[in-house]
Amino acid sequence: MTVRVRFAPSPTGMFHVGGARSALQNWIYAKQQGGVFVLRIEDTDAARNKPEWTEGILSALDWIGIERGSYEGPHFQSEYAGEHRAAAARLHESGRAYYCDCTREAVQARTGSQYQGYDGFCRDRGLPAGEGRALRFRTPDEGETVVVDLIRGEPTFENKLIEDFVIARGDGSPVFLLANVVDDMTMGITHVIRAEEHLPNTPKQQLLWDALGVKPPIWAHVPVVVNEKRQKLSKRRDKVALEAFRDEGYLAAAMRNYLMLLGWAPSGDREIVEWSVIEQEFRLAEVNPSPAFFDEKKLRAFNGEYIRALGVEEFVEACRPWLTGTGTIAPPPWQPEEFDADAFAAVAPLAQTRIALLSEIVPNVDFLFLAAPLIDEAAWAKAMKEGSAELLDAALAAFEALESWDAETLKSTLEAVGAERGLKLGKAQAPVRVAVTGRTVGLPLFESLEVLGRERTLSRLRAARARLV
Ligand code: GLU
């Protein structure tokens, strides 16, 4: 039997990191089993779906390493409406489903509770199909439904506690529970690896598989992803969109490594490992069923490590979208013609060890490309103390007299200027740094001045000095 798994997102919003995690787990499982990964877009909720969300899912999957053309699909659920309706009709014909015209109010009035669920009123009324009549599945009165779950063992549900649930609405349209099962059947899915949130649906869905006469799949419900307060990550409250992480400058390799650690770890106390190690070692059965904490701080630290591990040229290439404002990345504060690739290449190795997100490259190098530095006023106030004007005068005079403009000479020159005033290098550097870069922290100063060049450095020092009058 060929293993066939699927990832079945609904295109109703940005692509959730929890979805990305499930997609990767499906992807790896298929690869390990020599199976097939199917992408199915569950687009039947016409009111909430938008084509751009579908495109967003495809490109987010591409980014994370599940590339278009390397999987089956995308199939679109909306194209299988005929199969959904046929399955509903079969269930009705075989007596496994019946029509029901009860309103919610009527059910509540009979049961005296809004929580009780459906009371089976129409079970034996033999109503024919009709406008406004929902089709309900007749759940067994006895027995249990045992779900075989690779992560959770065998969660068991008593059938008598499962209400006669709706499978098609009053207008004949099938609901998620049925459409999802029929699609999995039609597409020959053997293993359903999906989020824990769907576990309450699973006994109902398995009953549908049984009623339609097809062997149900093996299930794996992967743990819910939570924030630091142990709340389920929600798009209204938390940053959850994979695209948002991408646009902030997380590397796909760091992201997918981190996502796979939600509830699982490679052997030997390691966390940062090659993707091939994860592909080899990951075992669905080893995934911890408890909620998995999505720790953005840790992810950030991970990303820093991944950035530092890049070759310098790869790093330069990876920074390009932030430096040129391509794709969905916000444009940098300089004009495209102000960007100087050689100057960037010269400071790139210095920046590479200092940033954790690619987007942080911009404030680190903007002084190189802007006509005048963006002065951070708080930094200015902190660095410009009594005596700073004199220090800048002395630094200017000493720098103007230099024959060679290199980091080492600049450093020893400023060191001497500071020493004459009883200042350590760090103190002497601060006003110079703010004058030239606008900030109190940044790349190593003297290398920065070397790359910025004599004329621009001197003119910025003069401008700062003029401001101190
Ligand atoms: N469209 C459903 C979702 O996004 C898929 C459920 C499933 O994987 O079975 O939650």
Q: Is residue 282 part of a domain?
A: no
Q: What is the mean pLDDT of residues 252-262?
A: 98
Give CA–CA dist 27/133, Å, rounded.
Answer: 40
pLDDT of residue 212: 98
User: What atom of ligand 1 comes closest to residue 194's alpha carbon?
Assistant: 8
Distance of CA 229 from the midpoint of ligand 1 (Å): 25
For residue 388, tell me if it sits in a domain.
yes
Same domain for 157 and 13: no
Which of 235, 382, 385, 424 is an active site residue? 235
Q: What is the distance in A from the centroid of ligand 1 to the CA of 329?
A: 29
**pLDDT given at position 117:** 87
411 is catalytic: no
- The C-alpha atoms of residue 66 and residue 45 are separated, in whole angstroms, by 25
Q: Are residues 318 and 182 located together in one domain of the fold?
A: no
Same-domain status, 185 and 44: yes
Tell me, using a 6 A CB cutoff, whether residue 180 lines ligand 1: yes
Per-residue confidence (pLDDT) for residue 408, from 0 to 100? 98
How are beta strands 218-222 and 72-76 bridged, if at all?
Answer: unpaired
Q: Which residue CA neighbors atom 10 of ligand 1 most closely?
A: 9
Residue 300 CA to ligand 1 center (angstroms) comes to 28
* CB of 194 closer than 6 angstroms to any ligand 1 atom: yes
| Position 327 confidence tier, pLDDT thresholds 50, 70, 90 | confident
In this prediction, residue 328 carries a pLDDT of: 84
11 lines ligand 1 (CB under 6 A): no
The 3-state DSSP class for residue 355 equals coil
Is residue 133 located within the same domain as residue 180?
Answer: no
If asked whether residues 60 and 204 sit together in one domain, one would say yes
Q: Whose CA is nearest to atom 6 of ligand 1?
A: 8
Q: Can you say whether the dihedral through the CA atoms of 181, 187, 193, 194 is positive or negative?
A: negative
Q: How confident is the model at residue 257 (pLDDT cuts 50, 70, 90)?
A: very high
Domain presence at residue 211 = yes
**Do 323 and 333 sit in the same domain of this protein?**
yes
Angle, in degrees to the nearest 10, between helices 17-32 and 252-260: 80
Whether 37 and 89 share a structural domain: no
HSE toward the beta carbon, residue 443, CA cutoff 13 A: 28
Nearest to 437 by CA among 358, 398, 380, 352: 380
Compute the distance between CA of residue 444 and CA of residue 197 in angstroms, rounded to an integer: 49
- pTM (2 d.p.): 0.92
Asked if residue 303 belongs to a domain, the reply is no
Q: Are residues 137 and 194 in the same domain?
A: no
In terms of phi and psi (left: phi > 0; alpha: psi -120 to 50; beta: otherwise), the region of 440 is: alpha
Residue that finishes a domain, picked among 370, 398, 415: 370
What does the pLDDT read at residue 347?
A: 98
Domain membership of residue 215 (yes or no) is yes
Beta carbon of 77 within 6 Å of any ligand 1 atom: no
Is pLDDT larger for residue 45 or for residue 296?
296
198 within ligand 1 shell (Cβ under 6 A): yes
Closest CA to 448 of 469, 462, 434: 434
Q: How many domains does the chain have?
A: 4
Domain boundary among 168, 191, 206: 168
Choose one of 10, 75, 77, 224 to mutate for the ligand 1 pocket test, by most ligand atoms within 8 angstroms of C-beta: 10
pLDDT computed for residue 375 by the predictor: 96
Q: How confident is the model at residue 2 (pLDDT cuts 50, 70, 90)?
A: very high
Flag whether 380 is in a domain: yes
pLDDT of residue 49: 82
Q: Which domain holds residue 443?
A: 372-467
Distance CA 158, CA 136 (A): 18
Same domain for 183 and 63? yes
Q: Which atom of ligand 1 is closest in space to residue 42's alpha carbon? A: 1
pLDDT digits (tens, 9 = 90+) for 411-467: 999 999 999 999 999 999 999 999 999 999 999 999 999 999 999 999 999 999 999
* pLDDT tens by residue, 174-204: 999 999 999 999 999 999 999 999 999 999 9
Please write the tens of the pLDDT for every residue from 21-73: 999 999 999 999 999 999 999 998 877 888 889 999 999 999 999 999 999 99
**Is the CB of residue 40 below 6 angstroms from any atom belonging to ligand 1?**
no
pLDDT given at position 207: 98
* Spatial CB neighbours of 121, under 8 Å, sequence gap ≥ 6: 100, 102, 106, 107, 110
Q: What is the mean pLDDT of the chain?
A: 96
Q: How far is the C-alpha of 259 from the C-alpha of 22, rounded, in Å?
A: 9
CA 216/CA 181 separation, integer angstroms: 9
Atom of ligand 1 nearest to the CA of 197: 10
Residue 301 in domain: no
* Whether residue 9 has its Cβ less than 6 Å from ligand 1: yes
pLDDT at res. 90 = 98
124 with 201, same domain?
Answer: no
* Pocket probe mutation, ligand 1, options 7, 39, 42, 178, max atoms within 8 Å of Cβ: 42
Q: Which of 15, 78, 193, 194 to mutate to test the pocket of ligand 1 (most atoms within 8 A of CB)?
A: 194
pLDDT at 300: 98
* Residue 196 belongs to domain with CATH number: 3.40.50.620
* Residues of the chain above pLDDT 70, percent: 100
What is the CATH number for 162?
A: 3.90.800.10
| 406 φ/ψ angles, rounded to the nearest 5 degrees | -135, 160
- The residue whose C-alpha atom lies closest to atom 2 belonging to ligand 1 is 9
Distance 18 CA to ligand 1 centre (A): 12
pLDDT digits (tens, 9 = 90+) for 332-355: 999 999 999 999 999 999 999 999
Nearest to 129 by CA among 107, 97, 161, 164: 97
Together in a domain, 12 and 143: no
For ligand 1, the distance from its centroid to the CA atom of residue 252, given in whole angstroms, is 23
pLDDT of residue 305: 98
- Cβ-count burial of 154 within 10 angstroms (0-12 exposed, 13-18 middle, 19+ buried)? exposed
CA distances from 165 to 109, 118, 127, 208, 461 (A): 18, 7, 16, 11, 75
Looking at the predicted structure, is the pLDDT value of residue 323 above 90? yes
CATH number at residue 455: 1.10.10.350
Q: Is 8 in the pocket of ligand 1 (CB under 6 A)?
A: yes
Flag whether pLDDT at 399 surpasses 80. Answer: yes
Tell me: pLDDT of 406 over 80: yes
* Residue 201 within any structural domain of the chain: yes
**C-beta of 10 in contact with ligand 1 (< 6 A):** yes
Instruction: Find all residues with CB under 8 Å of 357, minimum gap 6, and list them.
Output: 248, 249, 250, 300, 303
- Residues 152, 13: one domain? no
Query: What pLDDT digit, counting tens, does each position of 206-232 carry?
Result: 999 999 999 999 999 999 999 999 999
Strand 4-7 vs strand 36-41: parallel, antiparallel, or unpaired? Answer: parallel
Whole-number Å distance, alpha carbon 99 to ligand 1 midpoint, is: 26
